[in-house]
Chains A and B, each alone.
Chain A
Amino acid sequence: MSRRQDVQRRGLEGPRPEERTRPIGRRNSQGIRIDPEIEAEPKPRRTTISAYVKNEPGVLARVSGLFHRRQFNIESLTVGPTQNEGYSRITLVVEEPDPGIEQIRKQLNRLIPVVHVRELDSNPVARELVIVKVDGDEPDKVHAITEMYDGETLDAGPRTVTVQITGSENKIDDAIDAFKQFNIREIARTGQAALARGEEETARVEAKHT
């Protein structure tokens, strides 16, 4: 039932925008209330997120689709089976401001096959592997650098040497820098796999999900 029959048909009226009462505060682009004097936008930081998931077709596609669609900045993504049949662990390295990291955690949690998601603290046990193929002109020098980074020679021939280095992201970056002098022909990097340190659990998992 309309109750506006008695209203005069005059069109919209009222104080103009510049004549209106105004609020004092302000939010930033993340919707967080801020001191209007300080235009602070949160800075991105790099962190590791670990998800324990049920193996279902398409779960990886959904995870990577999510990052693309929501424009989350992803540095690396690895996935592999766990000791529990039917469950995998996905490790993500991301670079986002705090609200973005929180959104990543929550959005991953929304995916139905995801059992548990958390951000690992600043010092997880984390490793990555790289395979580097360089020119084989100076095999001794390549060998020396490989030794220096506790690496391993996987293949050596007259024209190429291929080595493997395992370690933290920083160490691998350094090693790659060092190999540049031999002309890097190709690189394959796995991305980071990580577990929480010591007694701490990477994922809180109920018995039904083991």
Chain B
Amino acid sequence: MSGEQAQAPRDTETEREPTAVTNGADAVVRALENAGVEHLFGVQGGAIMPVYDSLYRSDMRHITMAHEQGAVHAATAYGVVTGEPGVCMATSGPGAANLVTGIADANMDSNPLIALTGQVPTDVVGNDVFQETDAVGITSPVTKANVFADDPDSVGTDVGTAFALAKHGRQGSTLVDLPKNITNGETDRDPGAPTLPDTYEPPETADPDAVAAAAAALRQAEKPVILAGGGVIKADASEELRSFAIEHEIPVITTMPGTGAFPEDHELSLEIAGMHGTGYANMAITMTDCMLAIGTRFADRLTGGVETFAPDAEIIHIDIDPAEVSKNIEADHPLIGDAKAVLGQFADAMTGSPSTEAWLEQCDMWKQEYPMDYAAPEDAPVKPQYIVERFDEATDDDTIVTTGVGQHQMWAWQYWTWTQPRTWVSSHGLGTMGYGLPAAIGAKLAAPDRDVVCFDGDGSFLMTCQELSVAVRENLDITVVILNNKAIGMVRQWQDVFFDERHMASEYPWVPEFDALAEAFGARGFRIDTDDEVDDVIEEALAYDGPSVVDVYIDPDEKVYPMVPSGGDNGLFALTEDQL
């Protein structure tokens, strides 16, 4: 089935009227409408056809993607930008299987996502019939919750519940498997608004005594830091964090998913920590005596080896998921609750501020000692960091940046100045190459008035570049910037250091002409080979009203530093290869 058919203009006005629920598929669609869903991303196919048929009569907009992986990443990014669960759908078998990477990706990053998969009819489930896979079984380790719908009367509620679970508490991905006889089955039940199951009650505020004790500890600290994770953004607590940090003069470090939770142009910002974080953030995180960590799971790429992570620090950990507290790093003060609510409690419980003058001076000194910089000799090829800086300069502060995975992702993260939440849209926990372009599509549909720039690698772009067809069809004004090093560069960087420069399967003897490829798709294609082309091309690409691809031939030898090797000691970050 083509996208045109799925998106065909409805012939009569009467068809647009909300019609009565007549079958399970109608109930599914009604559940999504009741949840306030406006966009869906998917690919048609046999087992999901009844749901698509009901969508025909709905005002929700379905975006037909080129590949189900595109659908799930687009929906995820849509969820990141809006805060509401993104919705993706696919048919049974290969359709469902193609969603799995993205479902795992969203769940790992606690992003709100609901996946609807068609399934073969219940009377043949288990017989290995055409396009049958056990979607619930496959996705069970990578979803927050999933369910096999087995009754037309309750399938709408199943979808509503999955939506509510994706959104509330610690966000994550959910899946509803929809057998064709269930969606075709008769029912007239409107599922009503999404509701959480009665076994699930996410915590709101933390124990006041624990908050008071934690506040006392922070007040007495001499070298405090705030570590802001993705949970701050998800709880919409950036404003609370800002005023708290400023009032008490405590430096702030963000994790990768927390990027944008605190403005990096503020003097209290130490920016980003972890494997490729700034030297000053990694020094502060190592030397702190009290860390207020908010909405973070202390992922290994942040902590390095846990033995040497903030080893002198009392840890105050605010998180909505009790299982994340003391999982990787023991919390001296566990505060279970919503980041926004608990930050409010915490602010009230602070009867004074810690004396941080000397510590702030120390942090400033580290900033002087370890400025983020890259070498750019006159005659060198274009530096990727320079491209990132120039795009940052040329765009507004609310510009949304998406990325693939690899060196380009790290350069974008390091050299863009993040000032607003929900502007950094990337694949963190799973590290999924191919995320960038479909994510840009989802982000643009979520925020049509904002600029969307995707920094991609040549390898990552090749994984999902077919979605360019969707951007062209939908005329989405996005700019894809390929930092092209003719290699899967991050792998090559590791080979240089850890495998004695044996470049096995990491260099492309040949890459397509991405500018020409873009034009073949119907997008605008640009190419940059030298520094003096940069600003003009950026201007033209941003000005073009539609999707454009800028293929930048960067210095293939450029590396990502600073670097803490996996399991390493953050305080011993390497500034150059020979320090590893």
A interface residues, Cβ below 8 angstroms from B: 1-5, 7-17, 20-33, 54, 56-58, 61-62, 65, 69, 99, 102-103, 106-107, 109-110, 112-115, 208-209
Contacts and interface: CB of A to CB of B under 8 A. Distances in A.
Contacts of A115: 199
A95 B331 CA distance: 23
B510 interface: no
B392 A1 contact: yes
Nearest to B298: A31
A20 B571 contact: yes
Contacts of B327: 31, 103, 106
A99 B416 CA distance: 39
A13 B307 contact: no
B307 A27 contact: yes
Interface string B375-395: 110000001000001101100
Interface in B136-155: 136-137, 140-141, 144-148, 150
A210 B162 CA distance: 24
A99 B326 contact: yes
Given A12-B575, A109-B322, A30 B141 contact: no
Given A2-B393, A54-B199, A109 B326 contact: no
Given A16-B579, A17-B579, A23 B370 contact: no
Interface in B546-580: 561-562, 571-576, 579
A65 B138 CA distance: 11
Interface in B283-307: 283, 286-287, 298, 303, 306-307
Contacts of B199: 54, 112-115, 209
Contact of A10 (B148, B373, B392, B415): B373
Listed residue (B150, B200, B416) with the most chain A CB atoms within 10 angstroms of its CB: B200
8 closest A-B pairs by CB: A11-B375, A9-B376, A25-B311, A106-B323, A31-B329, A14-B370, A17-B572, A12-B575
B417 A1 contact: yes
Given A12-B562, A17-B573, A25 B312 contact: yes
Given A11-B375, A31-B330, A23 B417 contact: no
A151 to B, nearest CB: 39
B369 interface: yes
Contacts of B321: 110
Nearest to B328: A31
A115 B571 CA distance: 43
Contacts of B392: 1-2
Nearest to B332: A33
